[in-house]
Amino acid sequence: MTSMLEVFRKELELCKVGSGQTLAVLTEDGNRQDYADAFLAAAQELGASAFQLNLSRSGQGGRGDRAVGATSLAGNRPAIEALKSADIVIDLMFLLFSEEQIEITDSGTRMLLVVEPFEVLSELLPNETLRKRVEAGGERLKNARTMRITSPAGTDVTYELGKYPTLTEYGYTDEPGRWDHWPSGFLFTQGNDEGVNGTVVIGTGDIIFPLKRYVVDPITLTIEKSMVTKISGDGLDAAIMRDYMESYKDPRAYAISHIGWGLNELARWSQLATSANIGEEIGMHGRAFYGNVLFSTGPNTELGGTNDTMCHLDIPLKGASLWLDGDHIVDLGKIVPKEMQPA
């Protein structure tokens, strides 16, 4: 079995960590210390300077891994400045959607989020070919002005595009200020404000994260002016979704967030049903699997927006179709453009 040190060294080589670089590892309450130790050792083998910053949990957020944006780093100026002094930060704490993450990357420091179990990291170790395919998709998406998504289950929704940037995630970062997540393999943008309208049907076999739940009974979302205005469905799945979103007591939870598609042919739709460690996973297999249409609700600060609600749902739609300005990109779960297909 490949050692953690060897796998982490390969990842840092993709991130171009080497002599003259400074790497910081961010942890909380000593969690994932084995990852921290391996990253520090790998960085030193590559000739980089490295240090670990371990914070005590502040209790911010209060909803565990189901809340985003509130972190123990908030207001800790010495810690933030220390991280900004590094060339790359390995985030083992989960800063996603936080103001602190944005400030650090805006300073030119690149950042890599790493929180999945080692088995998943090893299975989905990225490569330059995946990067090229994701970037090819990114070029198409950033130039598009409309997106339409349909599905046999009844989805028919249109996004007006152009206000927000396109982000690519291929699992490593070698450019100043770039954030990425290992593992990944998808791309996304956000619809214009009030520019998303139609119906999304979350059908049998689609996944709801962070609930880590395959949908059995379809859920119908009515979307008007980029807000979910109605959640319909008589089954258990719709009832759980309604209750979960209502529990945040935040109307911004119903805003439409990012939209894109998955391109990682190594990621498995069935992972949620077959993994022995699913309680430790956050679901990157499900978010990145090849040909899924990744529909999301909630915060949009990652794309430069102002919605910082802590309620975020990622919903990979299996077997959907997607068009950009009338060009067919995803056909019933199959990628159409050759430049995005695996060799």
Give 10-42 pLDDT, tens digit per residue: 999 999 999 999 999 999 999 999 999 999 999
Tell whether the model's pLDDT for residue 225 goes beyond 90.
yes
Question: Could you tell me which CATH number the domain at 4-115 has?
Answer: 3.40.50.2300
Order the strands of the 186-190 sheet from edge to edge. 167-169, 186-190, 256-262, 293-297, 313-317
What average pLDDT score do residues 51-70 get?
A: 70
Render 245-302 in DSSP notation, one character per residue. Answer: HHTT--GGGGBEEEEEEE-BTTS-TTHHHH-TTTTT---HHHHHBTT-EEEEES--GG
The whole model's pTM is what?
Answer: 0.95
pLDDT tier for residue 59 given thresholds of 50, 70 and 90: low
Per-residue model confidence (pLDDT) at position 67: 59
What average pLDDT score do residues 184-191 get?
A: 98
Label residues 2-40 b or e (16+ Cβ within 10 Å = b): eebeebbbbbbebbebeeebbbbbbbbeeebeebbebbb
Per-residue model confidence (pLDDT) at position 58: 76
pLDDT tier for residue 62 given thresholds of 50, 70 and 90: very low
Order the strands of the 179-181 sheet from edge to edge. 49-55, 22-28, 88-91, 110-113, 179-181
The span from the CA of 283 to the CA of 174, in Å, is 24
Q: Which residue has the tokens 């090229």?
A: 132
Alpha carbons within 13 angstroms on the beta-carbon side of residue 54 total 9
Paired sense of beta strands 327-331 and 334-335, if any = antiparallel
The span from the CA of 28 to the CA of 212, in Å, is 24
> Is the Cβ–Cβ distance between 283 and 245 less than 8 Å?
no
Q: Which residue spans of the chain are classified as CATH 3.40.50.2300?
A: 4-115
The span from the CA of 68 to the CA of 309, in Å, is 8
End-to-end Cα spacing for the chain: 27
The span from the CA of 130 to the CA of 126, in Å, is 7
Give 101-144 pLDDT, tens digit per residue: 999 999 999 999 999 999 999 999 999 999 999 999 999 999 99
What mean pLDDT is reported for the chain? 96
Q: Which of 44-53, 62-71, 96-105, 171-180 has the lowest mean pLDDT?
A: 62-71
